[in-house]
């Protein structure tokens, strides 16, 4: 799982509004993105269907050798990222939220990702999700959602 901060550092100013640019994928805001510290930072959405961490049979890269695995039924996990603690004005940033996923060889798998932006009272101001995607069993697939600046995001 990967949350990239695509527009994050001031580079120029126009009419007192900061114009910001940074390379896509520049900063991962997710805590413990590949399960290297177990479930630290993550909340399991469905308490009866559990996630765990395993050594990856097909590592994502040289430094990422663990990954989350679910049960044989639909599982969900979430993480809240306090944008207001990271950027000056969360309503003004464009975010890229992406994840790499892979299925298991012993059963067909699907993957779905959802991003929810909340306001300062924890009300939903924007929600976007992927469709249910077939997960390949022998390579990592990437899914990405782009969230344009959203009024009220916190």
Q: 1, 74, 80, 71: which is closest to 35 by C-alpha?
A: 1
pLDDT-based confidence at residue 107 (cuts at 50, 70, 90): confident
Q: How far apart are CA 88 and CA 60, in angstroms?
A: 33
pLDDT-based confidence at residue 55 (cuts at 50, 70, 90): very high
Q: Which token pair is 23?
A: 């390379």
**Residue 13: predicted pLDDT:** 34
Contacts of 153 (CB under 8 A, 6+ apart): 83, 90, 91, 93, 117, 118, 119, 125, 126
Q: Which token pair is 110?
A: 């699907």
DSSP β-bridge partners for residue 122: none
User: How many CB atoms are closer than 10 A to CB 93?
Assistant: 21
* 8 Å CB contact between 45 and 76: yes
Higher pLDDT, 142 or 21: 142
CA distances from 140 to 17, 18, 99, 101 (A): 39, 36, 10, 5
What does pTM read for this prediction? Answer: 0.79
Q: Taking 90 as the threshold, does the pLDDT of residue 134 lie above it? A: yes
**Residue 71: predicted pLDDT:** 81
Rg of the chain (C-alpha set): 17
């Amino acid at each position: 799982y990967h949350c990239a901060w695509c527009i994050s550092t001031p580079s120029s100013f126009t009419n007192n509004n900061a114009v910001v640019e940074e390379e896509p994928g520049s900063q991962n805001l997710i805590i413990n993105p590949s399960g290297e510290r177990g479930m630290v930072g993550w909340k399991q959405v469905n308490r009866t269907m559990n996630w765990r961490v395993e050594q990856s049979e097909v590592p994502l890269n040289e430094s990422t050798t663990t990954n989350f695995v679910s049960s044989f039924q639909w599982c969900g996990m979430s993480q809240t990222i306090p944008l207001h603690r990271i950027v000056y004005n969360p309503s003004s940033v464009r975010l890229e939220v992406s994840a790499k996923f892979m299925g298991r060889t012993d059963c067909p798998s699907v993957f779905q990702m959802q991003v929810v932006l909340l306001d300062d009272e924890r009300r939903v101001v924007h929600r976007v999700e992927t469709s249910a995607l077939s997960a390949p069993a022998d390579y990592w697939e990437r899914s990405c959602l782009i969230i344009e600046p959203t009024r009220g995001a916190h």
